[in-house]
Amino acid sequence: MLHTSINVKDMDRTINFYTDKLGMKLESRREIKQNNAEIAFLSIEGSNHNIELTWWKDKTEYVEGDQLDHIAFSIENMDQFIARMKEEGVEIAKEPYLLGTSRIAFIKDPNGIWIEMIERK
């Protein structure tokens, strides 16, 4: 397991909360033009699990419970994994695409929760 993503309303305010109040470290922050979003990764000393903050620029209303965006896992072979998920009837929320040096895809669990699969080179 790599990270847990949380939807946020205000990126700067949320980063300040996690860094100032919880002592986390801002590792990176960048725009994702493909999704009209911005993401930031935060870490905490002694843990390999990160929090990803996701700000959807088009989203104006949030309902309590919408905050969990996705969880992420590392995989070795994206093509094999996606083919197996399709064979097993798993919904592919977003087909594989390149983001930096990683290939990323999203599937959905039975409850509609998005699960990000990351193949790193």
What is the tens place of the pLDDT at every residue in 74-99?
Answer: 899 999 999 999 999 999 999 999 99
| CATH architecture, range 80-121 | 2-Layer Sandwich (3.30)
What is the tens place of the pLDDT at every residue in 24-67?
Answer: 999 999 999 988 999 999 998 988 899 999 999 998 887 766 78
Cβ of 103: how many Cβ atoms within 10 Å?
19
DSSP secondary structure string for all residues of 9-32: S-HHHHHHIIIIIT--EEEEEEEE
Q: Which fold has domain 1-74?
A: 2,3-Dihydroxybiphenyl 1,2-Dioxygenase; domain 1 (3.10.180)
Provide the residue ranges of all domains of the chain, joining segments of one domain with +: 1-74, 80-121
Residue 44 is encoded by which pair of tokens?
A: 């905490």
DSSP secondary structure string for all residues of 37-87: EEEEEEE-TT-S-EEEEEEETT-----TT--EEEEEEE-S-HHHHHHHHHH
Catalytic residues: 116
Distance CA 35, CA 79 (A): 22
